Structure 1
Amino acid sequence: MCGRYSLFAPQNAVIDLLDATPERDLEPRYNMAPGEELPVVRDAASDRIEFHKWGLVPHWADDDSNGLINARAETVAEKPSFRDAFEQSHETGGPQAGRCLVPADGFYEWVDESGGTQPYRVTRTDDRPFAMAGLWSTWETEIEQVGLDAFADGEASTETRRMLTFTVVTTEPNDLIEDLHHRMAVILDEAEQREWLTADPADAGELLDPYPADEMRAYPVSPAVNDPTNDAPAVAEPLDPEP
């Protein structure tokens, strides 16, 4: 699975990767966690890097209490929570759901070892940022507003609360990741990014394969990454830096 990741590559490198402009500056992030507003590029706004909540809430959900941080590549076309987004269906999901790119420059996995659990950071061997395959959905609810005016005329007004959410698609691990976890995030090479946003479902499904293991590396990091409030360069540094 992908439950924590980082993005502290230079902003210009991220812009070049995604061919999109951020709606606000990309602050360096070393420990990005579910529930936070994080950068994505949606198919519905492919020239912009927007910020949306990590934890997909389907547009038809009754409440927003159970956001889904990952979606299995094998079932995105079948699961009701993800089907509308994956199919970009205007009949059922309309502009309320679709596919997105989730920029990162590394992600974390935890391994059971003697004495406890050891976190590892996984990156490209060249340390360049990359785009993970994602799905997005809009969730809306009506909130009743009760103010002084309501007491005067006996009526309360309502306000629509709109929230954009996303999830990261995962697939079978490559040879490197399988020693760390039984799933890994789908990493798209640069030639696949626009195809993921625009292809029909059958072709998009062909993109959801493991990234080549020989283009990735993994190294142990401090257990400080376990706490998502620890968002500093130290959590991404190797425990035993090479000389």
Structure 2
Amino acid sequence: MAARLSENGRRTYNARSETAAEKPSFRNAWRRAQHCIIPAQAIYEPDWRSGKAVATRITRRDHEPMGIAGLWECWTDPAGEEVFSYSMLTVNTSNNELMRNFHRPEDEKRMVVILPKGLYGDWLRASAAESMEFMRQYPAERLAAAAGD
């Protein structure tokens, strides 16, 4: 049986870490500690400070790839095929010097959980009970933002 990636994952590409254990879309993966790491060179967020959404590229200041904490899930579709999906975990960033600048002014400020490289193995081996220990903001001084990239 061939596996394929979920085609409807856009609706669940981010998971609020504070509620992932309770939400139907994420709770099984959270309870089973189905942790994964999503590699990314950059993330993009809309900067609304000008009154218009300006796509902004956010990278690690040291130019190393990011390892984003995620949850993975596998299910079988009606045709009998395995479907794999993942969601990136997020945290509130209203007090983060850099990340609080993104999203609409009235929206909650959030960011994906960027894991320090030294914690990759710990995240992958962590139990469900330990998962929240990894849900931290990445320090603003270790990130760089550039509009229009």
Q: Tell me which interval the TM-score lies in, with the shorter structure as reference length.
A: 0.7 to 0.9
CA RMSD of the aligned region, Å? 2.1
Q: Could you tell me the TM-score, scaled by structure 2's length?
A: 0.83
Query: In the alignment, which residue of structure 2 is the partner of 1:239?
Result: none
Q: Do 2:49 and 2:101's aligned partners in 1 also have CA atoms closer than 8 Å?
A: no
* Moved >3 Å (runs of 4+): 51-56
Paired residues in the alignment total 139
Q: Do 1:141 and 1:161's aligned partners in 2 also have CA atoms closer than 8 Å?
A: yes
Greater gyration radius: 1
- Alpha-carbon distance in structure 2 between the residues aligned to 1:193 and 1:54: 27
Query: In the alignment, which residue of structure 1 is the partner of 2:128?
Result: 201
- Alpha-carbon distance in structure 2 between the residues aligned to 1:212 and 1:192: 15
In structure 2, runs of 5+ residues without a counterpart are: 104-108
**Cα 1:54–1:86, aligned 2, differ >3 Å: closer, same or farther?**
farther
Note the 1:170-185 alignment, pairs <5 A. 170-173=90-93, 174-181=96-103, 182-185=109-112
- Alpha-carbon distance in structure 1 between the residues aligned to 2:12 and 2:67: 19
Residues 47-90 of structure 1 deviation map (CA, whole Å, 9 limit, x = unaligned): xxxx944865xxxxxxxxx741110011112222211111217x
Q: Do 1:133 and 1:169's aligned partners in 2 also have CA atoms closer than 8 Å?
A: yes
Where relative contact order (Cα < 8 A, 6+ residues apart) is larger, the structure is 2
Q: Do 2:44 and 2:57's aligned partners in 1 also have CA atoms closer than 8 Å?
A: yes
**Cα 1:55–1:210, aligned 2, differ >3 Å: closer, same or farther?**
farther
SS of 2:141 mapped into structure 1: helix
Residues 144-176 of structure 1 deviation map (CA, whole Å, 9 limit, x = unaligned): xxxxxxxxxxxxxxxx12210111111112221
Query: In the alignment, which residue of structure 1 is the partner of 2:89?
Result: 169
Question: Is 1:120 equivalent to 2:42 in the alignment?
Answer: no
Query: In the alignment, which residue of structure 2 is the partner of 1:86?
Result: 30
Deviates more, 1:199-208 or 1:113-122: 113-122
SS of 2:97 mapped into structure 1: coil
Amino acid at match of 1:164: F
Amino acid at match of 2:26: F
